[in-house]
Amino acid sequence: MAVPLSSAKFHTSILTQSLPSSSSRSFSVGKRFCCSSSSTSMEHHESKFKEFPYASVPHRELMVELVSTVENRLGESLLPCTLPSHVQYFENESATAHASLYVRSGNSSSQVDFILGSWVHCNLPTGGALNITSLSVYLRPSTDAPNFLIEVIQSSPTTLILILDLPPRKDLVQHPDYLKTFYEETQLDKQRQLLEKLPEVKPYFSSSLYIRALVSPSAILVSIETDPSQAIRIDEIIQDHISPVAKVMLDTWLNLCACTERRLTDDESKDLAKRDQIIKNKTIEIDLESSFPRLFGQQVANQVLGVLREIYNS
């Protein structure tokens, strides 16, 4: 779906409060774009994405495991990542913000449209850093099954926001059978309830109403805050609680959504394609168009967003 890198809107408050405006700076993108002039091979960048170099150990292990699980399960139905190197890795002029994107499209017979992974790291003026990692998988209109989404936002060693969901691709109010199949019978809400039980966990409300409307009624949108004296507790929560929940949800999605055929009529597929496209356009608008210029400068943002728009519209 939606919210591949929702760095922006999901975290508007942090970004708004913490980041200096970059609008008045001039960027020499051609020179500063990549990490270093020697870092141009696709292999390097691809492995760079999977390194999640700024994430904590359990955060990194979680993301690596999820990406590997998706890639192993979907196997050869995924084409190699062909993003230009300056989109696979980019940073701002002052090298205080870094990001990596990773996109693999499904082959023509796959139900997968594309997977999109990302990480963003950004130094905060307060001395800390913002680390965002995400993985989304978008399906094609040959199936109406939900997409997959995880996003982990850490703005300090003791605070974390988690968005984890199988975002629906149909209006659940009009399609109670769809709700039953993908959300009630799978008992996904039990996973949300597992996290809700932890005293450090609170429901999280995105500042974007559109994002709130996009997610399913069993979506996990939580903020986690631990005592500042117990920074290690966040790591424990990721490892012992978030990780098993994320794996259950990904397995459910792989079995029921990515790897199960759904028979749709031509009209159904047409309606679905229209709805999918609205979601993609709104996601780029809400999620990235406001934050990327601020994080990376207008010129870098334009180039990265240009490539993403092509993928979202192909």
Residues lying near a second copy in the complex (CB under 8 A) are found at: 171-174, 176, 179, 183-184, 189, 203, 209-210, 212-214, 216-218, 274-275, 278-279, 282
Q: Count the residues in the chain.
A: 314
Tokens standing for 205? 């409300």
Nearer to a second copy, 71 or 189 (CB): 189
* Smallest distance from a second copy to CB 186, Å: 11
Which C-beta is closer to a second copy: that of 176 or that of 228? 176
Q: What would the two tokens of residue 192 be?
A: 């949300």
Distance of closest approach, residue 304 Cβ to a second copy, in angstroms: 23
- Shortest distance, position 276 Cβ to a second copy, whole Å: 10
Tell me whether residue 198 or residue 210 sits nearer to a second copy (CB atom).
Answer: 210
User: Is the separation of the CB atoms in 247 and 185 below 8 Å?
Assistant: no
Phi and psi angles of residue 289, each rounded to the nearest 5 degrees, phi first: -65, -25
Cβ distance 249 to 194 under 8 Å?
Answer: no
Choose between 86 and 275: whose C-beta lies nearer to a second copy.
Answer: 275
In angstroms, give the least distance from the CB of 180 to a second copy: 9
Return the closest-CA partner of residue 234 out of 56, 62, 63, 64. 56
CB of 170 to a second copy, least distance (A): 8
Amino acid at 120: V
DSSP string over 117-137: EEEEEEE-TTS-EEEEEEEEE
Pick between residue 47 and residue 193 the one whose CB is nearest to a second copy: 193
